[in-house]
Amino acid sequence: MDTISMVNTTCSDNQNEANGSVGCKSDSLYEDYTTYDEHIAGIYLWKIVAPIMIIFGNFGNILCVIVLNGKSIRQYTISVFLTAMAISDTVALNTGLLRNWILYTFDKDIRLSSDILCRFHTWLLYFALSFSAWMLVAVTIVRAGLVCFPNKMKFLCTKQKALATIIIIAVVLSCSKLPILFGVGDIIEYDNGTMAIQHCVYLSKKYKLIFNNIGSWLDLVSFCVIPSVLLIVGNTIIIYTVIKSRQKVGATQQSTNDYRQRKPGSKSKISSMTTMLVGLNAVFLVSSIPISVYVIGYNQWYEEGDTRDLAVLGLMWPITNILMYSNNTFNFVLYILSGKLIRKEALKLLCCSKTNINADTELVANRQPEANGIHIARHNRILTNNMALQSVTRMSDIKIRNMRNLIQIGEIVRQQRIQMIDEMSQQKTDD
């Protein structure tokens, strides 16, 4: 993705910094194509568009990390992947796009500062760009799984497993980019006792051939082709499943009274999730394909082209780079436009002071009558319970008194019967 401007084994350092992506065949040819409007327009793109994207992208990605780690969003597993992607986007902007802006604005290539910086900076840029692409793939796969198998994925997709997945992807991509650390650097040459240093070049012609031919295709496959295929398949599964789910719900609930009330809410919720993913994937495809095609076809176009063609290549280099870095710059805009929860949290964060004041005022105002209502309800419950208890107690007292009266009446009747029996016995004795 940054191969062409990374090294130039035939030009002088100053010329390499000036022409960037378009190598040099001869000094006269170099002077010729740099006078074309296409080449000049490409330089202005680096000077004007690049800093705007750097500022906007850094602000958006930092805001994205803060919002995704808020209380209401960090509970979702996908927030872990989106946070990692925002961090890698920030790294890509500040290693790749920032380097080119400094190169074309101040005529200074930071990779030429030291051999270690050349190796590490190049490796880090390639890693960050690939890592961001695979984080988007991971998000799409997780969402497709949740749509197709919601119950199983709730147990499978935990934050711990998401973090483990991120670590595995990072390790694999880091190892795949290790040849960059050992194939690029400074070369010291001696010519008739004179020492000459070539900064940040391929260390051998063999490695240059492998990197420009095989490496470009491997980058195309790992950075663009495989992620694009997985993204297309994942989005197709999501959209197909969502459509089938809507049709099924519509068929089963069409006759119920609450269907019209539930349908708009569920539709907007589904649309919010699918719109964000489809938007992210569409931006990735549009931004990644042109730079991959440019890097693969550059050597042939350069060898076969004339002076005007070199100027056109000089214009296409910033255009394809700006398209590629737009994926790292404007991802958060898609979150804001398509994700209601993220948009709500972002607006709350951006307007925190005013929102907090209004929220506190409303909270106090709302809690006062609410508190009064709670106290009144509690008092009423206590009174009701007391009255019920008193009523039960009175009824118990009445029953006890009635029982005592009945016992007394029964005792009187028994005594009267005994007295009557005694009197009757006395009369018989007298007779």
Q: Which of 210, 222, 2 is nearest to 126 (CA)?
A: 2
User: Which stretches of 93-149 are DSSP H helices?
Assistant: 98-106, 115-148
- pLDDT number for residue 170: 95
Q: Which pLDDT value is given to residue 102?
A: 95
Three-state secondary-structure class, residue 187: strand
pLDDT, mean of each 10-residue run, the chain (431 residues): 44 37 44 82 94 94 88 82 93 95 93 91 93 90 84 82 94 90 83 80 83 79 87 85 77 55 46 66 84 85 85 92 92 73 76 52 46 53 64 69 76 77 70 57
Task: Give the chain's domains with CATH numbers.
Answer: 33-180+213-250+270-338 (1.20.1070.10)
SS3 23: coil
Torsion of CA 303, 309, 315, 321, to 10 degrees: -30
pLDDT of residue 319: 95
Which residue type is seen at 229? V
- Beta-bridge mates of residue 189: 196
Determine the pLDDT at residue 355. 47
- The span from the first CA to the last CA of the chain, in angstroms, equals 142
Q: Angle at CA 400, nearest 5°, toward 394 and 401?
A: 90
- The model carries a pTM of 0.71
| CB half-sphere exposure, 390, CA atoms < 13 A | 6
Cα 311 versus chain centre, distance: 39
SS3 of residue 189 by DSSP: strand
* Nearest C-alpha neighbor of 140 from the set 277, 341, 335: 277
Write down the residue that tokens 């008194």 correspond to: 401
Q: Who contacts 123 (Cβ-Cβ below 8 Å, separation ≥6)?
A: 177, 178, 180, 181
Q: For residue 99, what are the CA distances in angstroms to 4, 126, 128?
A: 14, 14, 14
Q: What is the pLDDT of residue 51?
A: 96
What is the distance between the alpha carbons of residues 134 and 118, in angstroms, rounded to a whole number?
25
Rg of the chain over all Cα atoms, to the nearest angstrom? 40
pLDDT of residue 352: 61
The answer for residues whose C-beta is within 8 angstroms of residue 431's C-beta and 6 or more apart is none
pLDDT at 252: 65
Contact 171, 264 (CB under 8 A): no
